[in-house]
């Protein structure tokens, strides 16, 4: 008798093959049989009208801290994700001794949008080296599977201390970093990650530690990883600006490193309305590198990268005069103040006046570009521009923003795209043969974005609403493509003998629900939470993990060690 049997579903295997009706049997955490199965099982699920697919794989998350207090892996878990890669962009908790945790918190807190106090309260420190950190993750109760890079910022601060934020490494320090990176990969790290983007800064506006390194340091560490014969190099890349010479120099460095080190390279890519063709040379670079004998794959998104805003989280004017004082009050008091006509008129006047200078990075709320400022009423379909609604009602946009928020007890969401505004470009990037649809950033920017739903957005928007991508191709992009890209060869396909990580969903209803604000971080800190419609069952390691977004109690997730 099998442990689990999923009957009567539309089987989509993750390889892009056409769907067919059939059953999937699970035994001892593995897929035992696929086809028409007459035997009974200890538990059976009727998947009539539903798709049965491999569990989705997300290669770009930041759950390194969250995994300690959230065994579910939310919010990725609610969107069919059963395996994640954390430790991206050089941000990891190891190597680091507990006495120096302040260094890694300094690197993490602004990018992750999690206060050091919350991380301190939620993390029970029991490691110093990266192999010890992997052993710690291995022992934690987990609902989904985790893998992780060794991060450059943590590596630098472990070896260099405070100097990591300002100085170049000495030859001895660099040799030690190379040795530690090799040790980490040999112990099971997925590879090495770094950040060189100006979007990654500390709370006091200083560059994170990895940005203090020169390219020779990055190159030396990646080449050391290459000596192991495995591993992936992930980089949050430089921003060469509009200079063709600087862009070409950067691309040549990436190409040469991929070829010379033998290490597979990856980075995220977005389009932007300010430079609509910015992304195209990067895809040319990928092809050029392949021809030269190296390998690069590009991480892309399924929609715009949206800065989310609400009075419960962040708003564009939080640091402006008068606004600053109002926003510091409890929400109930903010509501009362916002209903005062005189004060409200003053807030509107200030919001429409001169914009104060303030360094804004990443997806932090910035002064609105009204042509690209939207009211969020549903996760699918065309959103409404705030200025269009304001014009219809004869109101100032700021005044309308306040009015809409008050009508929903300050729970109304607004958003402004930071990238990927052109959806034709998004589709073109997703269709590129060397791209992977991933980059949820789950675990980071926790009150600023909600991209853990990029998988269900792909299924609900691009497959069902737009009919621009077939269901089989969408499932392939979310399963076997990321699994093979990161060397996870025991998942991502429905094949007998592979891991029984499965997702059962209704193709007619699957999609993200509206986000909500919750206070479930350690110490009650704030984050966004979002679940999905249409996913009836998520199975991890052969055990039913979620049913209709509810946890069953199963925690069969494991640490994946790089091979």
pLDDT in tens, 149-166: 999 999 999 999 999 999
Look at residues 392, 418, 444 and tell me which one is the last residue of a structural domain. 418
Which two structure tokens, joined as six digits, stand for 247?
């862009």
Is residue 480 predicted with pLDDT exceeding 90? yes
Q: Are residues 337 and 405 in the same domain?
A: yes
Which two structure tokens, joined as six digits, stand for 507?
């193709």
Give me the mean pLDDT over the 73-89 stretch.
98
Radius of gyration of the chain (CA): 24
Determine contact, residues 316/363, Cβ cutoff 8 Å: no
Q: Are residues 286 and 321 in the same domain?
A: no
Cross-strand pairs, 192? 150, 233
Q: Are residues 320 and 270 in the same domain?
A: no
Is residue 361 predicted with pLDDT exceeding 90? no
Query: Is residue 551 in a domain?
Result: no
The span from the CA of 403 to the CA of 401, in Å, is 5
The span from the CA of 455 to the CA of 546, in Å, is 16
Q: Are residues 381 and 472 in the same domain?
A: no
Which two structure tokens, joined as six digits, stand for 17?
């093959």
Q: Are residues 242 and 103 in the same domain?
A: yes
Is residue 344 predicted with pLDDT exceeding 80? yes
The span from the CA of 58 to the CA of 85, in Å, is 6
Cross-strand pairs, 385? 374
Where do the H-state alpha helices sit in 188-275? 215-226, 244-261
Determine contact, residues 84/491, Cβ cutoff 8 Å: no
Is residue 359 predicted with pLDDT exceeding 90? no
Is residue 330 predicted with pLDDT exceeding 90? yes
DSSP state of 197: -
pLDDT of residue 324: 96
Q: How many domains does the chain have?
A: 2
pLDDT of residue 204: 87
pLDDT of residue 203: 87
**CA-based max dimension of the chain:** 73
Q: Are residues 312 and 288 in the same domain?
A: no
Phi, psi angle pair for 112, to nearest 5°: -80, -20
Q: Whole domain around residue 414: which residue ranges?
A: 307-418
- Scan for tokens 């804004």, then name that residue: 360
Determine contact, residues 57/79, Cβ cutoff 8 Å: no
Question: What is residue 145's three-state secondary structure?
Answer: strand
Is residue 563 predicted with pLDDT exceeding 90? no
Quick one: pLDDT band at residue 311, thresholds 50, 70, 90?
very high
pLDDT of residue 410: 97
Of residues 274 and 455, the one with the higher pLDDT is 455
Show Cβ contacts of residue 546 under 8 Å, excluding neighbours closer than 6 positions. 77, 78, 143, 535, 537, 538, 552
Is residue 484 predicted with pLDDT exceeding 80? yes
H/E segment holding residue 117: helix 116-122
| Closest C-alpha to 195, from 182, 207, 206 | 207
| Closest C-alpha to 419, from 297, 267, 307, 282 | 307
What is the CA 556 to chain-centroid distance, rounded? Answer: 22
Query: Is residue 27 in a domain?
Result: no
**Mean pLDDT, the chain, integer:** 96
Q: Are residues 221 and 369 in the same domain?
A: no
- Scan for tokens 């430790």, then name that residue: 87
Q: Are residues 286 and 318 in the same domain?
A: no
CATH number, domain at 112? 3.20.20.140
Query: Is residue 546 in a domain?
Result: no
C-alpha angle with apex 327: 326 to 329, nearest 5 degrees?
A: 70
- Scan for tokens 């005189």, then name that residue: 342
- Scan for tokens 């680091």, then name that residue: 96
Q: Over 323-370, what HEC string results?
A: HHHHHCCCHHHHHHHHCCHHHHHHHHHHHCCCCCCCCCCCCCCCCCCH
Q: Are residues 182 and 139 in the same domain?
A: yes
Q: Are residues 368 and 430 in the same domain?
A: no
pLDDT of residue 217: 98
Whole-model pTM: value is: 0.96
Give me the mean pLDDT over the 321-329 stretch.
97
Look at residues 462, 490, 518 and tell me which one is the last residue of a structural domain. 490
The fraction of the chain above a pLDDT of 70, given in percent, is 100
pLDDT of residue 561: 97
Query: Is residue 316 in a domain?
Result: yes
Work out the number of other CB atoms within 10 angstroms of the CB of residue 42. 11
The span from the CA of 287 to the CA of 277, in Å, is 17
The fraction of the chain above a pLDDT of 90, given in percent, is 94
Query: Is residue 434 in a domain?
Result: yes
The span from the CA of 406 to the CA of 111, in Å, is 30
The span from the CA of 142 to the CA of 290, in Å, is 37
Q: Are residues 169 and 196 in the same domain?
A: yes
Q: Which of 108-122, 337-351, 443-457, 507-521 has the lowest mean pLDDT?
A: 108-122
Give me the mean pLDDT over the 327-351 stretch.
97
Q: Are residues 217 and 327 in the same domain?
A: no
Look at residues 490, 517, 543 and tell me which one is the last residue of a structural domain. 490
pLDDT of residue 394: 97
The span from the CA of 232 to the CA of 237, in Å, is 15
Query: Is residue 322 in a domain?
Result: yes
Is residue 241 predicted with pLDDT exceeding 80? no
pLDDT of residue 490: 96
Which two structure tokens, joined as six digits, stand for 22?
């059939």
Query: Is residue 555 in a domain?
Result: no
Which two structure tokens, joined as six digits, stand for 462?
């691009």
Determine contact, residues 122/527, Cβ cutoff 8 Å: no
| Closest C-alpha to 390, from 406, 379, 401 | 401
Determine contact, residues 478/460, Cβ cutoff 8 Å: no
Bond from prior residue into 275 cis (ω within 30 degrees of 0)? no
pLDDT of residue 274: 87
The span from the CA of 529 to the CA of 251, in Å, is 37
Query: Is residue 4 in a domain?
Result: no
Quick one: pLDDT band at residue 539, thresholds 50, 70, 90?
very high
Phi, psi angle pair for 156, to nearest 5°: -65, -50
H/E segment holding residue 472: helix 471-478
Is residue 270 predicted with pLDDT exceeding 80? yes
Bond from prior residue into 75 cis (ω within 30 degrees of 0)? yes
The span from the CA of 151 to the CA of 136, in Å, is 17
The span from the CA of 72 to the CA of 63, in Å, is 11
């Amino acid at each position: 008798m099998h442990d689990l049997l999923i009957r009567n579903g539309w089987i989509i295997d993750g390889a892009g093959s056409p769907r067919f009706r059939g059953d999937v049997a699970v035994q001892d955490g593995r897929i035992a049989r696929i086809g028409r199965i007459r035997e009974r099982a200890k538990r059976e699920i009727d998947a009539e009208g539903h798709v049965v697919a491999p569990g989705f794989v997300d290669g770009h998350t930041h759950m390194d801290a969250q995994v300690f207090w959230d065994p579910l892996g939310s919010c990725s878990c609610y969107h069919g994700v059963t395996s994640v890669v954390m430790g991206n962009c050089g941000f990891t908790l190891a190597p680091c001794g507990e006495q120096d945790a302040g260094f890694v918190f300094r690197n993490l807190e602004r990018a992750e949008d999690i206060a050091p106090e919350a991380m301190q309260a939620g993390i029970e420190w029991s490691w110093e080296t990266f192999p010890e950190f992997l052993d710690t993750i291995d022992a934690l109760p987990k609902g989904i599977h985790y893998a992780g890079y060794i991060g450059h910022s943590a590596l630098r601060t472990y070896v260099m201390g405070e100097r990591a934020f300002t100085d170049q490494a000495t030859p001895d320090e660099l040799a030690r970093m190379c040795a530690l990176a090799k040790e980490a990969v040999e112990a099971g790290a997925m590879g090495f990650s770094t950040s060189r983007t100006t979007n990654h800064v500390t709370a006091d506006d200083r560059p994170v530690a990895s940005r203090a390194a020169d390219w020779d340091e990055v190159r030396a560490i990646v080449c050391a990883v290459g000596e192991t014969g495995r591993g992936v190099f992930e980089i949050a890349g430089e921003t060469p600006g509009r200079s063709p010479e600087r862009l070409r120099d950067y691309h040549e460095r990436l190409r040469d490193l991929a070829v010379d080190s033998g290490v597979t390279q990856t980075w995220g890519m977005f389009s932007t309305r300010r430079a609509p063709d910015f992304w195209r040379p990067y895809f040319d670079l990928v092809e050029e590198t392949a021809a030269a004998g190296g390998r690069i794959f590009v991480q892309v998104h399924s929609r715009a990268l949206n800065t989310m805003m609400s009075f419960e989280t962040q708003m564009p004017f939080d640091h402006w005069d008068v606004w600053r004082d109002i926003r510091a009050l409890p929400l109930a008091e903010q509501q009362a103040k916002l209903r005062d006509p005189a004060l409200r008129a003053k807030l509107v006047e200030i919001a429409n006046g001169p914009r104060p200078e303030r360094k804004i990075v990443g997806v932090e709320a910035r002064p609105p570009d009204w042509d690209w400022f939207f009211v969020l009423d549903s996760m699918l379909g065309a959103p409404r521009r705030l200025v269009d609604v304001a014009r219809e009602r004869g109101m100032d946009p700021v005044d309308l923003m306040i009015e809409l928020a008050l009508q929903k007890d300050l729970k109304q969401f607004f958003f402004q795209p930071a990238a990927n505004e052109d959806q034709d470009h998004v589709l073109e990037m997703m269709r590129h043969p060397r791209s992977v649809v991933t980059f949820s950033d789950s675990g980071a920017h926790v009150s600023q974005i909600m991209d853990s739903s990029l998988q269900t957005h792909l299924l609900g928007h691009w497959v069902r609403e737009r009919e621009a991508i077939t269901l089989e191709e969408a499932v392939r992009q979310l399963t076997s493509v990321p699994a093979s890209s990161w060397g996870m060869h025991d998942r991502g396909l429905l094949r007998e003998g592979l891991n029984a990580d499965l997702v059962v969903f209704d193709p007619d209803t699957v999609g993200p629900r509206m986000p909500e604000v919750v206070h479930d971080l350690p110490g009650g800190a704030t984050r966004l939470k979002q679940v999905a419609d249409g996913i009836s069952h998520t199975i991890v390691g052969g055990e039913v993990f979620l049913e209709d977004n509810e946890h069953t109690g199963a925690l069969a997730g494991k640490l994946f060690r790089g091979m």
